[in-house]
Amino acid sequence: VLRIRWLQYKVTAMSTVATQAIRVLVVEDGMTEREALARFLRTEQFDVLTARNPDEAMTFIHDRVDVIVSDLRMGKKSGIDLLQSWRALHGDTPFVILTAYGEVGSAVQAMKLGANDFLSKPIDPSNLLETIRDLVQPQTIDDPDRELSAEAATEPAMAIEGIVGSS
C-alpha cells in the first residue's frame, strides 16, 4: 500500500510540474506490437511518435523526444544500433530496450552501452508506465528510491548464497 501511494504521489507531482505531454518514440518493426504500444501510451496521455526501424527513428533526431522505447531485434539494424546513433547526438535521452525471452545477454550489452532499462516481452503495461515515468521524472522531486538506487550503485555487490525470495 505504501509503494502504491508513493507511486501515486510521484505521478501527481510529475503531472503538476510538466507543462506538456511526455513524448515517447516507440521503435518496433512489428506493426501490431508498434500500434498496440502507441495506442496504449496515448490512452495514458503520452505524445507518441512511431518508427518501424532505427533508420526511420533517426528522422526524429531533431524533434523533442523525452524517452525512446525500442525493440532489440529489428531486421538489419538493432535497437543497439539505434542506441549508439542516438546517444552520439543526444546522450541524455532516456532509452528503454524491449527484449524477448532469451535475449537477456544482448539487453545487458545495451545497458553497458547506455540504455537506461530493458523490459522483457510480453510487456507488462504497468511496468512500462512506471519505467517511462521514472525515467522522465523531474529531478526536483525528492525521491527516496532514487537516493537508495544511487547508494546501491556505489556499494560493492554482495552475493548471498542459498536465499531465494520473491516480491
pTM of the model as a whole: 0.71
25: its cell numbers: 518514440
Do residues 83 and 113 touch, judged by C-beta distance below 8 A?
A: yes
Q: Highest-confidence range of 11-25, 38-52, 70-84, by mean pLDDT?
A: 38-52
Rounded to 5°, angle at Cα 24 from 20 and 25: 140
Compare 70 and 108 and report the one with higher pLDDT: 70
What CA–CA distance (Å, rounded) separates 38 from 48? Answer: 6
